[in-house]
Chains A and B, each alone.
Chain A
C-alpha cells in the first residue's frame, strides 16, 4: 500500500484482522516520509509485516519511476530505522528453499541445514555432511521476492505501458467498475509477465497493449487459489491469497484506492490442493 494513503489503506485492509497498532502506524507515517526523501524513491510502499517468533519484521519497498523495475526492499524491526536489503538472486532462492518453519525475528539468526556434499579426496569420493548456514536475512529477502512474484496484485488500468518502455502510474485510473471488480481477470500480477507470450493470437487480439501487458490472476494454478469477496455490500472488494495466507489486496471500486499488504508468517501454504 502506498505510504501516502497509509491510514485509509489500513482501514480498508482491516477485514483480515491483522493490522498495525497505533504506535506502529504513527512511526510508519513519519519514517516512510524520511525514507522517501533519503533514498529518493518515486513511491514508497508499505509492504507488510512478517511475524517472527521473537520479533516482527516490517517491510517497505521503494519504487522508481518505472513501476516494474526491480524494487528496493527495506526492513525494520521498530518501524523507525530502516535497513536496505540486498536484491534477491536465484542462488538465494535455492539456498532458502530448504529452510522451513517460522522466522525467528532476529536478522542475524542462522539456520543450520545439513547437506550431503561430495568431497573429492584424490580419487575417492566421500559424502560428508556439511552444515550450511543460512542467514535469516537471506531468507527474508528470498521470501519477500517469492511473495511479490507470486501474489502481488494490481488492478487492470492502474498502470499503463508506453511504447518507449517504462511503465507509469495511470493518473486517469478511476477504479474498476463493479462488474469488473468481481472478476479475477481484472487483476494482474504486479511483476514481469511470464505467461503473456503463451497466449494464442486470438486471445492477444482482444488485449489492449497499453493496459494488458501483465499476467492476469485468472490463470493461476491451482485454480481457486484466490478468494475474492465483496465487503460492506459492494463498497470494497478484497482478494485474499490462499497460497500465501496473509496477503490481502483491497480495492474500493470506482475510486483510486487499491493496494495490498502481507501480514503473515512468511510461509507458503503447500497444503492448498488439499484444502480446496
Chain B
C-alpha cells in the first residue's frame, strides 16, 4: 500500500490543482461512511463541510470497509495516517479516485470500460476475478466509494456491490499503472487532469448516471445485465458468508447464473441417487477380486481355464479395428464375468457370443459347451398339445358331435449337443450380475419366432404377447433368436473346420447330413485379401435350421407308425382332417457350405465384406457384416477368426413386417343333418306345413271324434 500511496503521490504531484475541490467533495461523501449498510443516500451531501470532519470520517469508511471485506485491515491502516500528514498526498487517494470519477468517467467512460466491457460480455468471471484482485486495494478507494454512494439512491444491499464494481471500474486504470497493459487508461490518467479540475457536481452526476446506465445495459446474448448480476452475486455472498469468498468468486458468479434457470420448487433432495452406482461397483469389484481366491487347485484350474476361457480382449481388439465393439472397459468386465462363469460351472468351452439390446436392460450372451457328461438336466416340460381322440368324448357321445380335430404332433426338440441345441447359452444383464442359463429351444419356438418380431425387454420372465402365440416367455424367445442368429451368421474361413473322418458316415448322410466337425490342424490360413474378395472362402459352421424348426429332419408321420394301425379304423369312419399323408423331407444346405451360396435378399447381397483399414492394408483384417441379421459381424486375419453379434436381435427384411393371418375356420365336426345349419322356415312355410299336417290328420279325426275330443281337451290343457 505504501507503493500505491507513493505512486499516488507522484500522480498528485502532477495534479496539484485537484486537491481542493475534490477533497471537499470527498469529505462530504465521507460523512456518509458506511459502504454497505446504510440507508439510501441522497445527493444532498454536497462538499460544504469543513475540513475537520475530513480526517475522522475517512478513517471510519476505512475501518468499516475493512470489516466488511475480509482482508483489508492492512491496507486500511497506512492510509489514515497518511491523511493528516500530507496535505497533498493524502488527497491523492481521493483525488485520484476523484480523477477517475471525473472526466475519465465522463469522457472516457466508454474507453475506460471497454476493456471491461469485453470482460462483461465474455463472462463475469473475469470481472469478478478482477474484483477479487482488487479487494486489497478497495480501502484506498473507499472514500471514492462512499462518494459514489452519496450520489446514488441505492438499496442498502447494493452498497457493497457498488463499492466493488465501482472499484473495479476505477481500479482498471490503477491496475494498469502496475501492469502497463492498458494504454487507454494510462492516457486517461493523464488526460483528465485538466478536466478534473473543472468537475462540477452536475457533471459528476452525469458521469455516474452514464456509468450506471452502462451497467444496466442488457447483454445482447443473454438478456442479463451486469448491474443485476453483480448485485445478485454480492447479495448472495453477504447472505451466505462463504469462506474465502474471493477464491470462489467465479463459482459464485456461475452459480448465480445457473440459479437463473432453475426454479426453486422443492428443496427436498434425494439422498439415495448414488446407491445403484455403488451397488454395481461393488458387484464388479467382486469380479476383480475373485482371482485371488484360488488356492491349491490353481494348477488344475489354470489348465482348464486355458482351454475354456476365450481371449475376449484379443477378439475385441480385432473387432475394434472393424469399428464394432463395446469399449475396452466394458469388454474387460465381460471377460471377468466369463471367467467367473467358467469357474463356477463345469465348462469345456466358452465364447462371448454377443450382446442383445433390450428396452429396459440388455443381455450379454455367452455360448458355452459343457464338459462331457456334466450336462445339467432340465425339467422336461410336458407337451401342451394333447390328442383329443383320447379326450373326454366318452361322456358326451350321444349328445354332442365329436370333433375329429387332431392337434399336429409336436415335433420333439433336438437333443442337447445336437442341432440347434448344440451349445448352451448363459445370459446376464450386466457383468457382475449372476449368469442365468437359457432353456433349450424347441422347434415350435423357432417356427413361431420366425413369424413374430418383438423387442426384448431385458427381463427373462416377461410373457411374449403375440400372434401366433409364442409358446414360452422371453427367455425362450431369446433362445430361439440366438439359435437363428447363430445358424444364419456364424461363419469361419474355408478350411478352418473340416469334417471328422469316420467310417460309415456316408450311409447315414441321407437323414440329416453331417453334423460334426472339428478343427483342422493343418489349417494354413487364408489370405486376408482372398477373404475380402470372395465370399466362397467363408463357410457356415453351424447347421442350418430347417423350416420345421430343427436341424435334423424329423418325420412326424414316420414316428407315429405304431399308432397308425389303431387309428386307421377311426380315420376311415370319420371324415379325414386335412393332414397330408406324406410330408416331404425338408432339406437344408449341409454344414460347411460356403457363404457365397447364401440367398440374396431382394438383390441385396447377404454379406458385406470390408477390409478393416484401407490406409494400412498390410495389417488389416477382413470383416464380414451380415445384411440379413444386422449386427452380426465376423472377422478374420487369415488364421484367427471370431463371430460376434450386437444388436436388437431381429432379422432384416426390406418389406414391412405383416403378422400372419389367422387360419381359415377349421372343419372340426362331421357334417350331418343334426348340426348342419339350415334356415328357419318363414311364416308362410310354417302355415303351409301346418295346413298340410292338419289336412292329413282330419280324415283320421273324423273316425274317432269322441276319443279325440277328450284327447283334444286334454291336449288343450
Residue ranges of A at the interface with B (Cβ–Cβ < 8 Å):
11, 14-24, 49, 51, 53-54, 78, 100-102, 157, 160, 162-164, 166, 168, 170-172, 174, 177-179, 208, 210-211, 224, 227, 229-235, 240, 242, 245, 264-265, 270-271, 274-276
Contact = CB atoms under 8 A, between A and B. Distances in A.
A113 to B, nearest CB: 14
10 contacts: A24-B323, A53-B605, A102-B654, A163-B223, A172-B258, A233-B279, A265-B630, A265-B652, A274-B452, A275-B455
B627 interface: yes
B277 A232 contact: yes
Contacts of B452: 274
A6 B109 CA distance: 44
Interface string B634-662: 00000000000011101010111101000
B259 to A, nearest CB: 9
A264 B650 CA distance: 14
A210 B221 CA distance: 13
A151 B525 CA distance: 45
Contacts of B360: 227, 229
A245 B325 contact: no
A100 B654 CA distance: 7
A233 B276 contact: yes
Interface in B222-240: 222-223
A125 B672 CA distance: 58
Contact of A17 (B273, B359, B647): B647
Given A11-B327, A21-B320, A275-B455, A232 B280 contact: yes
Interface in B583-638: 602, 604-605, 608, 612-616, 625, 627, 630-631
B323 A101 contact: no
B278 A233 contact: yes
Q: Identify the 4 closest CB pairs spanning chains A and B, nearest first.
A: A17-B646, A14-B327, A233-B277, A233-B280
Given A20-B323, A21-B321, A168 B222 contact: yes
Nearest to A157: B261
A239 to B, nearest CB: 11
Contacts of B627: 53, 102
B359 A233 contact: no
A275 B360 CA distance: 14
B341 interface: no
B324 A18 contact: yes
B41 to A, nearest CB: 33
Contact of B325 (A17, A166, A177): A17
Interface string B352-377: 00010111111000000000000000
Given A51-B625, A101-B654, A168-B222, A179 B646 contact: no
Nearest to A54: B608
Contact of A275 (B277, B453, B612, B631): B453
A14 B325 contact: yes
Given A16-B646, A274-B453, A21 B254 contact: no
B220 interface: yes
A179 B656 contact: no
Contacts of A178: 270, 273-274
A177 B646 contact: no
Contacts of B361: 229
A168 to B, nearest CB: 6
B257 interface: yes
Contacts of A168: 221-222
A250 to B, nearest CB: 11
Given A53-B605, A178-B270, A242-B455, 18 more contacts: A15-B327, A16-B357, A17-B646, A20-B323, A21-B321, A21-B612, A21-B613, A53-B604, A101-B602, A162-B222, A172-B261, A224-B359, A229-B360, A233-B276, A240-B357, A265-B652, A274-B452, A276-B454
Contacts, number: 136
Interface in B315-368: 320-327, 330, 355, 357-362
Contacts of A240: 357
A20 B325 CA distance: 9
Contacts of B646: 16-18
A170 B604 contact: no
B223, B430, B625 — which one has the most chain A CB atoms within 10 A of its CB? B223
B323 A19 contact: yes
Given A172-B257, A210-B261, A21 B322 contact: yes
B179 interface: no
Contacts of A234: 273-274, 276-277
Contacts of A163: 223
Contacts of A23: 613, 615-616
Nearest to A18: B324
Contacts of B330: 14-15
Interface in B271-304: 273-274, 276-281
A1 B215 CA distance: 37
A245 B273 contact: no
B326 A164 contact: no
B263 interface: yes
A171 B260 CA distance: 12
Contacts of A24: 323
Given A20-B323, A53-B608, A78-B614, A229 B362 contact: yes
A229 B495 CA distance: 42
Nearest to A160: B261
Nearest to A242: B455
Contacts of B261: 157, 160, 170, 172, 208, 210-211
B321 A177 contact: no
